Structure 1
Amino acid sequence: MLRLFSRQKNQVLPLSATRHLFSTTTAAASSNLYSKYSFVPPPSLKPQSPSSTQSPPKKQPKPRYRPPSSLDRTGEKPLQSKLPFDFRFSYTESSTDVRPIGLREPKYSPFGPGKLDRVWTGVCAPVVDPKVGSPEDEKTVEEKRRVARERIQGEPLTNAERKALVERCQRHKTKRQVNLGRDGLTHNMLNDIHNNWKHSEAVRIKCMGVPTVDMKNVCTQLEDKTFGKIIHRHGGLLVLYRGRNYHPKKRPVIPLMLWKPHEPVYPRLIKTTIDGLSIEETKEMRKRGLAVPALTKLAKNGYYGSLVPMVRDAFLTEELVRIDCKGLQKSDYKKIGCKLRAKLTQKEFPSVWGVIPSKQGWPYRSSKFDLIKFEDFVWGRFDLILAHSIKIRSLVQWSLADLVPCILVTFDKEQIVVWRGQNYKPSEDGFFLTEREPFDHSGNDLDDHEVENQNGEGITGNSDYYSGDSD
């Protein structure tokens, strides 16, 4: 069998048969399947040249985590605060009487964009819109403030209650304390005071640095902005009482400032030449001022409550007074000089309604209003004067003669040199806060009053409490 198979020759197909075979396979490959089924082969079945190979697409990186921002207030309404006063960064170191001559930045609200329903003017956020406000609205706001404070305070404390609260706020009893420093009473500090009032009826406040030059202003602003009452003061140490009817859950809404706004541009404190003197006389006075003995040396973050009486007493015998401020920041002793000028020229004017001085005679009555608040013109609120068609020149001459007997000479070499002026007259009136202030009332605690009278001592309120100023 093997031989039979091996001897057989290989059969060769004819050429026509091979042609027929190839033609049928080609026809089958190029049949009507493409048109009938609309078949499209995937890219993986198509032959690709090695030159056209592409790298696979990279996976997109995951976005980095961003914490929620307080500036993103999409869909939220602005806060509405019912506090009846203008919002400022500092209530003790800024004044509504002195108008700035320019701003250092655009009017961006420090409360955040769209977070407060008040307009930021670059200096403050007024409670009454300046574009639509009126004097009647300001009177209404003042009345609301007075009524709210009386409602929260309730009946006054007795002497025994006051002494118990003061004793509870001493350093050896509690560590809770609010520090009032270079910037004075700031807006966010109001929130700190209310947070302390959650846990105790009174809070200890320690005042240091520039604001202590005018402690009366500090006490007034604290009581006015917090609706509380100061029940104890020893130097720069205060105890602020919240009131009998204060409820922590009904505390006012205080929007916080997210950053410190830039201070506006104010007129220069020291001019090239002093009014009434020539250039040579001004230079000579500055040399003499730097050569006179220093009245006192101010310590950094110290208590300056006795500085104004010292300068007033020195003006009785000396024409120039020098205050040594070495070690203090330049902005600090400039603020002290500005406060000295304002404090030394200030007089106590009652909040009454009166007439306006003018060259046309005394009294002078306006064409629109018969009575205008007297202190508005004393403290330089000239916008109201212009509104009533009064000559500004006559009023400025009158006010300068009465309000500027003290002139700043120089701030060179970290010194404050003050000149009392040519026509200086010592002020007979004026109110200065003593080192300790009595807060006792003779009508309360009659038994204690009788006991103290028997011992020959009156009620002065000068209890020996540890103030903590020696630290």
Structure 2
Amino acid sequence: MLKLLLWRHSTHQTHKLARFLSQSLSNDPYDPPFSPTSKPQKPKNKTKHKTQNKDQNSKPEPKFPLKSDLPFDFKYSYSETNPSLEPIGFREPPRFSPFGPGRLDRKWTGTCAPAQQQEVDPERVAEERNRVLGDPLTEEEVAELVEKYRHSDCSRQINLGYFLSPKLLYILCVYMACIVNFIVGAKMVWVGGVTHNMLDDIHNHWKRAEAVRIKCLGVPTLDMDNVCFHLEEKSGGKVIYWHINILLLYRGRNYDPKNRPVVPLMLWKPYAPIYPKLVKNVADGLTFEETKEMRNRGLNSPSLMKLTRNGVYVNVVERVREAFETVEVVRLDCTHVGTSDCKKIGVKLRDLVPCVPILFKDEQIILWRGKRDEEQESNLSKEVTSVQMFE
């Protein structure tokens, strides 16, 4: 029985091989055996339909130069620059516009692209902003938006003021350039505070959400009022929630994504211009020996507080003001914060406290309160003596 089964199996295999060879071999000498069959050609009509669909779905290319109706000067950063300070030099020629050659109808001056004042009407701008914002939100509507967007797992978030090393920043830029077009609601990182390209990111979030969550860290948190002011003025929105360093920016009732303002993007970060020296060799109101003594006293004094990288500095100004009521020199420990951020912190404290920064060394900031207290005490004593004389 076993032999019979093996014989049937062998005969079946031979018949199968013969059938295969008879189908593959051909009498035509120009048709070799085992030749691959030709694939059927696709109809040309389908390709035409595909090209027509691509043309219909493709967006129209923007025409250059772009013209924007925004009524303010375009800068790299709005919250971290002081327009009253004039630079004394430039690190790159002012003719190199960060918007690209011929892409914007405004001329780049080295620090900004100024708007044409003839076309700016403040009343018309205010009316348009009020029209977009519409009626004020009720308490219930504000509470609903806050509960929806205030949490840390919110996808509609923008990180503002983070400090990044150049190497990490380069890696981040390459990474974001690869995935930002494929991820909806990605959390962007803006190092320079309220930057120009951040405005375009805000409007992109407003396409699909009524509000955007903004988390502020680093130097901008020293003056949160300034951050809120520039966000509202430059974007046209309304800050409806503010808790320490978390903001919610509302787009308005009548916001239309199709009629959003034109925000031309900066193709690269412009080099910062050269400004006058921040720390003078001899502080105003002191001699050289007195300035040297103040610096040594500040370096040997205990630090008022220690600032960390990407920290929240909302209470630093008040702490420095309170310290100046009892001491004359204050030291801030800014280890691992970075030299550039130390100088930015010193500039903001100089304007907000106010005080006089007299030394930046080894990421230590030495601040002098100045002679204003002595002048105020002398003026008060003069007023008191004059009142006593008349009595």
TM over 0.5: yes
Query: Which of 231, 239, 243 matches 2:252?
Result: 243
| Counterpart AA for 1:114 | G
Match of 1:354 in 2: none
Kindly report which structure 2 residues correspond to 1:269-288, keeping only aligned pairs within 5 A, or say none: 269-288=278-297
Q: Tell whether the 8 Å contact from 1:201 to 1:243 is kept in structure 2 after alignment.
A: yes
Displacement of 1:177 in angstroms is: 0.6
Query: Which of 137, 152, 156 matches 1:176?
Result: 156
Q: Tell whether the 8 Å contact from 1:230 to 1:239 is kept in structure 2 after alignment.
A: yes
Q: Tell whether the 8 Å contact from 1:148 to 1:227 is kept in structure 2 after alignment.
A: no
Tell me how far apart the structure 2 counterparts of residues 87 and 426 of structure 1 sit (CA, whole Å). 41
Query: Which of 168, 191, 199 matches 2:200?
Result: 191
- The 3-state SS of whatever aligns with 2:366 is strand
Deviations 1:420-439 (A, max 9, x none): 11232799xxxxxxxxxxxx
- The 3-state SS of whatever aligns with 2:249 is strand
Deviations 1:196-246 (A, max 9, x none): 111110010000101111100000000000000001111111000000111
- The 3-state SS of whatever aligns with 2:372 is coil
Match of 1:335 in 2: 344
Displacement of 1:150 in angstroms is: 1.1
| Counterpart AA for 1:184 | G
Deviations 1:25-84 (A, max 9, x none): xxxxxxxxxxxxxxxxxxxxxxxxxxxxxxxxxxxxxxxxxxxxxxxxxx9530001111
Q: Say yes or no: does 1:210 pair with 2:219.
A: yes
Match of 1:442 in 2: none
The structure-2 alpha-carbon separation of the partners of 1:343 and 1:96, relative to structure 1 and needing over 3 Å to count, comes to same
Match of 1:162 in 2: 142
Q: Tell whether the 8 Å contact from 1:93 to 1:183 is kept in structure 2 after alignment.
A: yes
Question: What residue ranges of structure 2 are gaps of 5+ in the alignment?
Answer: 1-61, 162-190, 377-391
Greater share of helix residues, 1 or 2? 2
Tell me how far apart the structure 2 counterparts of residues 324 and 157 of structure 1 sit (CA, whole Å). 43
Instruction: Mark the structure with the bigger radius of gyration.
Output: 1
TM-score by length of 1: 0.59
Q: Tell whether the 8 Å contact from 2:357 to 2:367 is kept in structure 1 after alignment.
A: yes
The structure-2 alpha-carbon separation of the partners of 1:259 and 1:232, relative to structure 1 and needing over 3 Å to count, comes to same
- The 3-state SS of whatever aligns with 2:373 is coil
The structure-2 alpha-carbon separation of the partners of 1:104 and 1:159, relative to structure 1 and needing over 3 Å to count, comes to same
Q: Say yes or no: does 1:262 pair with 2:271.
A: yes
Q: Tell whether the 8 Å contact from 2:156 to 2:209 is kept in structure 1 after alignment.
A: no
Q: Say yes or no: does 1:117 pair with 2:111.
A: no
The structure-2 alpha-carbon separation of the partners of 1:98 and 1:142, relative to structure 1 and needing over 3 Å to count, comes to farther
Match of 1:105 in 2: 92
- The 3-state SS of whatever aligns with 2:362 is helix
Query: Which of 423, 428, 432 matches 2:372?
Result: 423
Tell me how far apart the structure 1 counterparts of residues 375 and 98 of structure 2 sit (CA, whole Å). 43
| Counterpart AA for 1:115 | R
Q: Tell whether the 8 Å contact from 1:153 to 1:243 is kept in structure 2 after alignment.
A: yes
CA RMSD of aligned residues (A): 1.9
| Counterpart AA for 1:161 | E
- The 3-state SS of whatever aligns with 2:130 is helix
Q: Tell whether the 8 Å contact from 1:316 to 1:426 is kept in structure 2 after alignment.
A: no
- The 3-state SS of whatever aligns with 2:344 is helix
Tell me how far apart the structure 1 counterparts of residues 152 and 159 of structure 2 sit (CA, whole Å). 17
Question: What residue ranges of structure 1 are gaps of 5+ in the alignment?
Answer: 1-74, 346-405, 428-471
Deviations 1:277-303 (A, max 9, x none): 222211111000111111100010011
Q: Tell whether the 8 Å contact from 1:203 to 1:239 is kept in structure 2 after alignment.
A: yes
Displacement of 1:343 in angstroms is: 1.1
Q: Say yes or no: does 1:88 pair with 2:75.
A: yes
| Counterpart AA for 2:148 | R
Tell me how far apart the structure 2 counterparts of residues 269 and 172 of structure 1 sit (CA, whole Å). 38
The structure-2 alpha-carbon separation of the partners of 1:172 and 1:209, relative to structure 1 and needing over 3 Å to count, comes to closer
Match of 2:49 in 1: none
Tell me how far apart the structure 2 counterparts of residues 160 and 407 of structure 1 sit (CA, whole Å). 46
Tell me how far apart the structure 2 counterparts of residues 426 and 160 of structure 1 sit (CA, whole Å). 52
Tell me how far apart the structure 1 counterparts of residues 335 and 358 of structure 2 sit (CA, whole Å). 17
Displacement of 1:172 in angstroms is: 6.2
Displacement of 1:123 in angstroms is: 0.3
Tell me how far apart the structure 1 counterparts of residues 247 and 113 of structure 2 sit (CA, whole Å). 28
Displacement of 1:143 in angstroms is: 3.0
Q: Say yes or no: does 1:301 pair with 2:277.
A: no
Q: Say yes or no: does 1:414 pair with 2:363.
A: yes
Match of 1:151 in 2: 131
- The 3-state SS of whatever aligns with 1:88 is coil
Q: Tell whether the 8 Å contact from 2:154 to 2:213 is kept in structure 1 after alignment.
A: no
Q: Tell whether the 8 Å contact from 2:150 to 2:248 is kept in structure 1 after alignment.
A: no
Tell me how far apart the structure 2 counterparts of residues 300 and 426 of structure 1 sit (CA, whole Å). 37
| Counterpart AA for 1:92 | S
| Counterpart AA for 1:91 | Y
The answer to which of 142-151 and 268-277 deviates more is 142-151
Could you tell me the percent identity over the aligned residues? 55
Tell me how far apart the structure 2 counterparts of residues 331 and 142 of structure 1 sit (CA, whole Å). 36
| Counterpart AA for 1:412 | K
Q: Tell whether the 8 Å contact from 2:108 to 2:114 is kept in structure 1 after alignment.
A: yes
The structure-2 alpha-carbon separation of the partners of 1:238 and 1:425, relative to structure 1 and needing over 3 Å to count, comes to farther
Q: Tell whether the 8 Å contact from 1:85 to 1:141 is kept in structure 2 after alignment.
A: no
| Counterpart AA for 1:296 | M
